[in-house]
Amino acid sequence: MSFTRISEIGEFALIDRLATLIAPTESQLSTLKKGIGDDCAVIELPNGKLQVVSTDLLIEQIHFDLLTTPLEHLGAKAISVNVSDICAMNAKPLYATVSIGLSNNISVEMIEQIYEGAARVAKQYGIAIVGGDTSASITGLVISVTIVGEVDASKITYRSGAKAGDLICVTGDVGRSFAGLKVLMRERQTMLDTFAENPDMDKSTYTADLSEYQKAIEKHLLPKARIDAVKFFHEVGLVPTSMIDVSDGVGSELKHLCRNSQVGALIEESKLPILSETREISDEFEDDGTTYALFGGEDYELLFTISPNDFDKLSSFKDVHIIGKVLDASSGVKMRDLFGTDIDLQSASGFQHFTEEEDLFEDDDDAHDHDGHDHSAHNHSAHNHNEHNHNGHDDEDEDIWGERKN
């Protein structure tokens, strides 16, 4: 048997190969509407509704750094990123299973913290955690969540429905999560340097003031799935023509939408919702905040397209920005920058900043998303438990599906 390294073909080619192997099983489920290739798999239910299913894996040292990530946040994020994939189908999440691989440096109390975080946000999203599996792990902590949701067949939204002339919209703000990650990575290094220089130091006494970066750090550690946007769509009878959640950055997700819909797009840099907090952090790192927005990822906002006829329906949803227009495929996927130059987003080389951050740019020009798989392999990192006072739990006991908040 030959030995091909995964790095030789890349993750997307690997998924293609695996998809080929499982393809013969798909015909055994006559109700399967969509297998690999969207945010969720889609299955027809006898009641005329559609079931949507997604799964995500979080692995220590790939997706998070245990030394510096609050465990409660980790549990919460594991649920939120899965709910986000359900939202990307314009569906309502119903229930999830949480499985965990445990290394022997994890205590019972630590595991409880992870599940407390998961349970807290599950309550907010109005979903039940119905089971899972636990196992020993020799390579660090592993968390896998599988989630199931439901949607009326008339409301299902795939990545593939965008049409030339549609408006391109994004909820919330983008780039902030990556800005938070940058701060956390720097803080982690400072912490490790301090420990190295002071080997006798009591590590629990280490403190850092990250208060000025609070908004960005919070977005990174505790992203919220935009279930409020989906609820709004249902209330006003708006069905986006295509939708995806922003796990890899607006630029990357836009390319997915365009490839799946066989269209082109032009977005405007000036319309990208990037907060001043994000710009201040990117300036501090001598980076470009626009790059964070396009390719940083993990914002878990919704990127979607609507027919221009639905513009009025969208107008009462405040936390959304129209950033561009869908064009014919021949127009390519481009961003008009602040100077009026159209930059090709298909080839990263069109924008010199794109090549400076190796962490930002994985080869996803030819992406083939596996349902529920998160392709980002950012090293999530540093976080100081002592100083980071999370204060975003003001609505923690509300089922946000039932309580739309704008």
> Which CB sits closer to Mg ion, 52 or 320?
52
Interacting stretch for Mg ion, rule CB under 5 A, among 17-25, 78-86, 210-218, 267-275? 78-86
Among 11, 72, 245, 371, binds Mg ion (CB under 5 A): 245
As a whole number of angstroms, the distance between CA 307 and CA 239 comes to: 9
Diameter over CA atoms, the chain: 66
Note whether 228 binds Mg ion by CB under 5 A: no
Three-state DSSP class for 142? strand
CB of 39 to Mg ion, least distance (A): 4
**Cross-strand pairs, 100:** 134, 143
Instruction: Enumerate residues 338-377 that contact Mg ion by CB under 5 A.
Output: none
Read off φ and ψ for residue 119, nearest 5 degrees: -65, -40
As a whole number of angstroms, the distance between CA 305 and CA 317 comes to: 15
Q: What would you report as the CA-atom Rg of the chain, rounded to the nearest whole angstrom? A: 21
Could you tell me if 302 and 88 are in contact, meaning their C-beta atoms sit under 8 angstroms apart?
yes
Among 38, 60, 72, 85, binds Mg ion (CB under 5 A): 85
CB of 379 to Mg ion, least distance (A): 20
> Which CB sits closer to Mg ion, 268 or 301?
301
Q: Following DSSP, what letter does each residue of 147-189 receive, concatenated?
A: EEEEEETTT---TT---TTPEEEEES--SHHHHHHHHHHHHHH
Interacting stretch for Mg ion, rule CB under 5 A, among 178-186, 189-197, 198-206, 245-253? 245-253
CB of 314 to Mg ion, least distance (A): 21
> Which CB sits closer to Mg ion, 245 or 362?
245
As a whole number of angstroms, the distance between CA 17 and CA 39 comes to: 19
Pattern 23-62, binding to Mg ion, x per CB under 5 A? ----------------x-----------------------
Element (H, E) at 32: strand 32-34
Interacting stretch for Mg ion, rule CB under 5 A, among 15-23, 68-76, 83-91, 300-308? 83-91
CA angle 375-380-384, nearest 5°? 160
Footprint of Mg ion (CB under 5 A): 39, 85, 245, 247
